């Protein structure tokens, strides 16, 4: 079966643009496309049901349960915008590519493991360059902002947005907003050129600086309007993408020709829909170094325990992947999987067993794990950072103390515990080779989308293909390790640790996963990531 969504197998498909705006290239081009589709398949019929400029999701449905969760387009609320030929068509670097421009109908399936009688399910618009663009090169005034915590690869994304705009589209005017969202209204901007960003991908952090809090939508959009900015590239995590969604809404409300593109950044890998976030591989690689150190320490002394705390506020992906990669870990504790310390089947019992068997042990704990076990005095009740994220206590210090107390006071056993906290070292490194390539694709996809007039989208790979995903899909839930999935089972079988779950816990986890926060109309469920 071919990869195009409109193929013979899906004959007689009827597309309906249910509640979105005008087709991205205007009615004229859309009709041309319909004619093309008809001539190819002979039976495609398209009905445009209406044009609205509200913020309802743009859903396009077709036969056999096909659903496109489309992204907004400038022409949804500015219907008569002129278009221009894409300058890439004259670019010698791309002239040899057989089909460089993305077909208007290309979409990417969210679910790729299917049965023959299942509906086709949810799709997203494929990312990439379009034949026609909505901006002339000289008219583009772009800006880039980075928000939230650090992540390997931030500088690479910045570099590639600047270079992509410049080299592919001839855009000369790109501003860097300093210090996150608040920088729009309280800091100076810097001019970014291919020259000034040339080497930045070799450095960790973000050359633009970042911050938490300070999202003042009105002031931010005033600043965008006053500066004549018409493309906004926003790099950040879940909070940042929520902020980007509000900025997009305000821009649309004011009727501004400004494209808003989000690039998802999260070292915790907690952004849903996308395959994984940039910097994650680099972080896992660095985390492994800490685990190796913990293993060396633990194996060099009698009853040695190496304990490593890794980031992961709500999602334990870094801990899970670093554990799987390292093979030196005897126990991995993550926020998604409850555990307990005392009694039969508890952590203390397992530690003692391991020490007796091997003489040493390595434990990896994600920062958000076991928070419910910390006593109220240790839990920082209601303490939040400037963005409203709950501040966590150091579970690593707490558990180290509990283990030491247990073995010295109750078991009268000498143990040697070394606690390693490499969290900020892992975040502050430059991205590795594969993340650098990934960052480049993300940046270029974002640039292509904005130039083509798409807006209100986050870019990211879905089953290996880059796609434009509407903000609401990114913002409605959080990607978490599914403890009833194969990946967690692989981890349990690699460490041989107890699952700490009672039959009741398992039943509840299964129930939770059967009723995810997003149950899609066609019966498909969200959250099918990293299996
Ligand atoms: N619901 C929201 N609406 C508008 N802005 C928000 C919202 N949540 C967060 N923000 C803004 O987004 C920015 C970044 O948010 P936050 O500090 O939570 O980091 P993040 O993007 O989630 O990244 P990280 O993965 O490091 O947590 C902050 O400036 C914050 O004010
Ligand atoms: O100390 P900061 O900068 O607030 O960042 C810590 C948080 O950032 C994250 O890495 C998310 O970016 C969390 O895992 C962690 O709790
Ligand atoms: Mg966040």
User: pLDDT tens digits for 88-100?
Assistant: 988 888 877 778 8
Closest ligand relative to 237 C-alpha: 1
Neighbours of 261 (CB within 10 A): 30
Pocket, ligand 1, Cβ cutoff 6 A:
147-149, 180-181, 211-215, 236-240, 242-243, 246, 266, 387, 389
> Residue 26: pLDDT above 50?
no
Active-site choice (76, 268, 270, 526): 268
Specify the residue with its C-alpha closest to ligand 2, atom 3. 149
By DSSP bridging, strand 360-366 and strand 331-333 are parallel
- With contact defined as beta carbons under 8 Å apart, do 495 and 330 qualify? yes
- CA 32 – ligand 1 centroid, Å: 42
Read off the pLDDT of each residue in 124-135 and give the average, rounded to a whole number: 97
Mean pLDDT value of segment 516-527? 37
CB-based contact 373:340 (threshold 8 Å) = yes
Measure 328 CA to ligand 2 centroid, in angstroms. Answer: 26
CA 473–ligand 1 middle distance (angstroms): 16
Which segments of 90-191 does DSSP mark as H helices, in order? 92-95, 154-163, 169, 183-186
Residue 244 has pLDDT above 80, yes or no: yes
Q: Mean pLDDT lowest for which of 2-11, 61-70, 223-232, 315-324?
A: 2-11
pLDDT of residue 95: 76
Percent of the chain whose pLDDT exceeds 70: 85
Q: Where are the beta strands (DSSP E) in 354-428?
A: 360-366, 416-420
| % the chain with pLDDT above 90 | 76
Q: Are strands 304-310 and 231-236 parallel, antiparallel or unpaired?
A: unpaired
Query: What is the per-residue pLDDT for 513?
Result: 67
- The average pLDDT across 407-418 equals 93
Ligand 2 center to residue 149 CA distance, Å? 5
For the stretch 437-469, pLDDT in tens is 999 999 999 999 999 999 999 999 999 999 999
Residue 515, pLDDT score: 52
pLDDT on residue 100: 87
Hey, whose CA ends up nearest to atom 9 of ligand 1? 239
- What mean pLDDT is predicted for residues 198-227? 97
Q: How many CB atoms lie within 10 A of CB 401?
A: 13
How large is the angle between the packed helices 347-358 and 395-405, nearest 10 degrees?
70
Q: Which residues contact 48 (CB under 8 A, 6 or more apart)?
A: 17, 23, 27, 30
Task: Name residue 309's beta-bridge partners.
Answer: 365
Q: Look up 268 and say whether it is catalytic.
A: yes
- Average pLDDT in the 141-159 region? 98
What contacts 311, CB < 8 A, 6 or more positions away?
Answer: 267, 268, 283, 318, 366, 367, 423, 426, 427
In this predicted structure, what is the pLDDT of residue 386? 94
Tokens representing residue 19 in the block: 């509640």
Residues 6+ apart with CB under 8 A from 307: 294, 362, 363, 364, 365, 396, 399, 400, 403, 417, 418, 419, 420
Question: Has 490 been labeled as part of a binding site?
Answer: no
Rounded Cα distance, 180 and 197, in Å: 18
Q: What is the pLDDT of residue 396?
A: 96
- For ligand 3, the distance from its centroid to the CA atom of residue 514, given in whole angstroms, is 25
Q: Check the annotation: does 367 bind a ligand.
A: yes
Report the alpha-carbon distance of residue 351 to residue 399 in Å, rounded: 12
Residue 451 assigned ligand-binding role: no
- 3-state SS string over 45-75? EEEECCCCCCCCCEEEECCCCEEEEECCEHH
Please report which confidence band the pLDDT of residue 37 belongs to, taking 50, 70 and 90 as the band edges.
very low
Instruction: Express each pLDDT in 153-169 by its tens digit.
Output: 999 999 999 999 999 99
Helices marked H in 217-362? 217-227, 238-253, 280-299, 317-326, 347-358
pTM of the model: 0.88
* Statement: residue 507 has pLDDT above 90: no
Nearest CA owner, ligand 2 atom 4: 149
CA dihedral of residues 27, 28, 32, 34 (deg, nearest 10): 10
Q: What is the phi/psi pair of residue 73, to 5°?
A: -140, 150
What pLDDT band is residue 84 in, cutting at 50, 70 and 90? very high
Asked if pLDDT for residue 274 goes beyond 70, the answer is yes
Mean pLDDT, the chain, rounded, equals 86
Atom number of ligand 2 nearest to Cα 368: 16
Predicted confidence (pLDDT) at residue 269 exceeds the cutoff of 60: yes
pLDDT of residue 15: 37
Burial call 133-167: b when 16+ CB within 10 Å, e when fewer: bbbebeebbbbbbbbbbbbbbbbbbbbbbbbbbbe
311 known member of a binding site = yes
Ligand nearest to the CA of 236: 1
Nearest atom within ligand 2 for CA of residue 148 = 12
At 326-342, the pLDDT tens digits run: 999 999 999 999 999 99
- Ligand 2 site residues (CB inside 6 A) read 148-149, 237, 266-268, 311-313, 367, 385
Q: Which helix (H) or strand (E) holds 455?
A: none
Q: Does position 134 have pLDDT exceeding 60, yes or no?
A: yes
Return the pLDDT at 514.
Answer: 61
Asked whether residue 510 is marked as a ligand-binding residue, the answer is no
């Amino acid at each position: 079966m071919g990869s195009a969504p409109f193929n013979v197998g899906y004959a007689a498909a009827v597309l309906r643009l249910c509640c979105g705006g005008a087709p991205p290239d205007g009615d004229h081009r859309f009709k041309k496309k319909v004619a093309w589709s008809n001539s190819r398949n002979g039976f495609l019929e398209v009905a445009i049901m209406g044009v609205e400029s509200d913020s309802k999701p743009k859903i396009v449905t077709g036969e056999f349960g096909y659903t496109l969760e489309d992204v907004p387009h400038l022409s949804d609320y500015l219907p008569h915008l002129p278009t221009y030929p894409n300058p890439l068509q004259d670019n010698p670097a791309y002239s040899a590519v057989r089909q460089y421009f993305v077909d208007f109908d290309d979409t990417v399936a969210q679910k790729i493991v299917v049965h023959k009688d299942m509906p086709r399910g949810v799709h997203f618009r494929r990312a990439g360059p379009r034949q026609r663009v909505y901006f002339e090169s000289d008219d583009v005034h772009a800006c880039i902002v980075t928000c939230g915590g650090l992540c390997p690869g931030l500088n690479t994304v910045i570099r590639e947005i600047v270079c992509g705009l410049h080299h592919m589209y001839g855009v000369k005017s790109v501003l860097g907003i300093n210090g996150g969202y608040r920088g729009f209204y309280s800091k100076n901007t810097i001019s970014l050129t291919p020259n000034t960003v040339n080497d930045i991908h070799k450095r960790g952090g973000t050359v633009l600086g970042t911050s938490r809090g300070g999202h003042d939508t009105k002031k931010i959009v005033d600043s965008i309007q006053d500066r004549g900015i018409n493309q906004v590239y926003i790099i950040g995590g879940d909070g940042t993408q929520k902020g980007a969604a509000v900025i997009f809404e305000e821009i649309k409300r004011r009727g501004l020709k400004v494209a808003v593109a989000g690039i998802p950044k999260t070292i915790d890998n907690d952004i849903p829909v996308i395959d994984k976030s940039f910097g994650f591989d680099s972080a896992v690689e660095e985390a492994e170094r800490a685990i190796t150190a913990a293993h060396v320490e633990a194996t060099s002394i009698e009853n040695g325990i190496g304990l490593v705390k890794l980031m992961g506020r709500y999602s334990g992906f870094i801990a899970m992947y670093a554990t799987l990669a390292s093979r030196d870990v005897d126990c991995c504790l993550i926020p998604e999987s409850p555990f307990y310390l005392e009694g039969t089947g508890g952590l203390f019992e397992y530690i003692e067993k391991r020490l007796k068997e091997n003489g040493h042990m390595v434990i990896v704990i994600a920062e958000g794990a076991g928070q419910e076990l910390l006593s109220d005095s240790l839990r920082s009740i209601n303490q939040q950072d400037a963005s409203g994220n709950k501040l966590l206590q150091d579970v690593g210090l707490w558990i180290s103390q509990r283990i030491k107390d247990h073995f010295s006071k109750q078991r009268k056993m000498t143990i040697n515990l070394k606690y390693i906290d490499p969290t900020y070292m892992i975040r502050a490194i430059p991205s590795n080779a594969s993340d650098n390539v990934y960052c480049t694709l993300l940046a270029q996809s974002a640039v292509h989308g904005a130039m083509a007039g798409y807006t209100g989208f986050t870019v990211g790979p879905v089953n290996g293909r880059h796609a434009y995903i509407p903000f609401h899909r990114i913002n409605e839930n959080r990607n978490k390790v599914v403890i009833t999935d194969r990946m967690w089972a692989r981890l349990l079988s690699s460490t041989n640790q107890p699952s700490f779950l009672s039959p009741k816990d398992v039943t509840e986890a299964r129930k939770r996963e059967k009723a995810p926060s997003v149950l899609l109309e066609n019966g498909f469920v969200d959250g099918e990531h990293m299996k």
